[in-house]
């Protein structure tokens, strides 16, 4: 735990996906909220079909959803959200011709019903 899901639009061709995932994992690890770096699992999905708003102007997005075991305070969740958003903003040069929206959403997972086992 946690599970980080990153969705990004296909028009963000310069996004270094693996580097981005590693950077976000490091942000989570330095937060002090997670016992082991191997507990952090992240994945990325490129969204080929999308529409942002109603304009035909070029737009795109990166949306992060972080699923956490329930029980953390609102303040901790806000700090995690803000830290992840700041890391996204600092990824590098953004395309000049595309408006890019960045978002982070935290989702509580029921602690009592979550199961996990590590093999190997």
- Per-residue pLDDT tens digits for 21-47: 999 999 999 999 999 999 999 999 999
Q: What CA–CA distance (Å, rounded) separates 35 from 53?
A: 40
In eight-state DSSP terms, residue 13 is T
Mean pLDDT of 34-63: 96
Domain boundaries in the chain?
3-113
Cα 104 to Cα 81: distance, rounded to the nearest angstrom:
6
Residue 60 near residue 99, CB atoms below 8 Å: yes
What's this model's pTM, rounded to 2 decimal places? 0.92
Specify the pairing of strand 41-47 against strand 3-9. parallel
CATH number of 3-113: 3.30.429.10
């Amino acid at each position: 735990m946690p599970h980080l899901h990153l969705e990004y639009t296909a028009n963000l061709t310069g996004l270094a996906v693996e580097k981005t995932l590693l950077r976000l994992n490091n942000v989570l690890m330095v937060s002090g909220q997670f016992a082991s770096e191997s507990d952090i699992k992240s994945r990325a999905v490129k969204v080929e079909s999308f529409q942002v708003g109603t304009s035909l102007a070029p737009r795109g997005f990166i949306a992060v959803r972080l699923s956490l075991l329930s029980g953390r305070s609102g303040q901790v969740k806000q700090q995690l959200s803000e830290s992840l958003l700041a890391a996204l903003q600092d990824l590098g040069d953004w395309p000049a011709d595309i408006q890019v929206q960045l978002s982070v959403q935290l989702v509580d997972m029921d602690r009592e019903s979550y199961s996990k086992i590590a093999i190997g």
